[in-house]
Every structure is written in C-alpha cells, then in structure tokens.
Amino acid sequence: MPAKDTFHYIVRSALEKDGWRITHDPLYMRVSPTIGLYLDIGAEKLLAAEREGRKIAVEIKSFLGLSSLSEFHLALGQFLNYRLALEELESDRELYLAVSADAYQEFFSDPFIQKSIVRYQLKLLIFHSQKEVIIEWKT
C-alpha cells in the first residue's frame, strides 16, 4: 500500500467537516489480474433532496516538491488512469484531485495548467490546509 500524502488527514478532515462519510481509506480497485490501484479516499454523501447518495474518489497531491510541473505530470497520469478504472468498476463515483489553496494559487492558476485542466476535464477539490476546510469544488 502506498504512503499517504502530506495532506491526507487534512483532506479527510475537511471532507468530514463538509458532511462526507469516508467509505474507503484507501479505495482499492483491481483493474486486471496483475494491476491494482489505490486511490487516497472514497467518500459518499447523502443528499436529502435527492434521496440518492453521491459518491466521490479523491486523489490528494501536495505539490511541495522541487518541480510542480513534474508533480503535475505524475498527478495527471494517475488521474487519467484512475478515471478509466472508475469508469469500469465504479461508474457512479466522481473523481477529484485535491490540492491546497496555496498550490492552486501559485501553480494551478497558470494559463497552461488551466488549459490542461479543461482539456483533460480534471475536477479539483481545493482545500485550506490550516483550517482543514474545503474552499471550492471545481468541476
């Protein structure tokens, strides 16, 4: 099982504060006889008005390394593979990439990165790392 990201417990806390029930930590998916994937968190939220649960999967990335662009390349590749796996195994679950507000402001606001977000249809969960709250969902 892979190591947890620096912000793992912060994002988990933020999700719980926002009314999400953590169902998997991590969310494991066997995609073939030889390949299994670990997504950081699986969660669900019951929406009273819909009487149906909403399910999400969240991959958390810190972007604290030397090269945010290299980290983004890795995160994008993971995201695309995880999305493919979810389409096959849990199509009712939406995938989000969780990034801190600082990383979003300093890196994700770049025009080229914004184009990548649109092109590859990345859904972002932006959180405040000190307050442990979700600031924004970008879909």
Sequence spans of domains, the chain: 8-138
**Is the entire prediction scored with pTM above 0.85?**
yes
Calculate the alpha carbon distances from 121 to 30, 114, 125, 133 in Å.
24, 10, 13, 23
46 C-beta neighbours (distance < 10 Å), count: 12
With cut-offs at 50, 70 and 90, classify the pLDDT of residue 29: very high
Q: How far apart are CA 25 and CA 27, in angstroms?
A: 6
The better pLDDT of the pair 1, 135 is held by 135
93-100: strand order across its sheet: 21-24, 41-47, 52-60, 93-100, 124-128, 133-138
pLDDT of residue 116: 97
pLDDT of residue 54: 87
Residue 49 has pLDDT above 70, yes or no: no
> Max Cα separation, the chain?
45
CATH code of domain 8-138:
3.40.1350.10
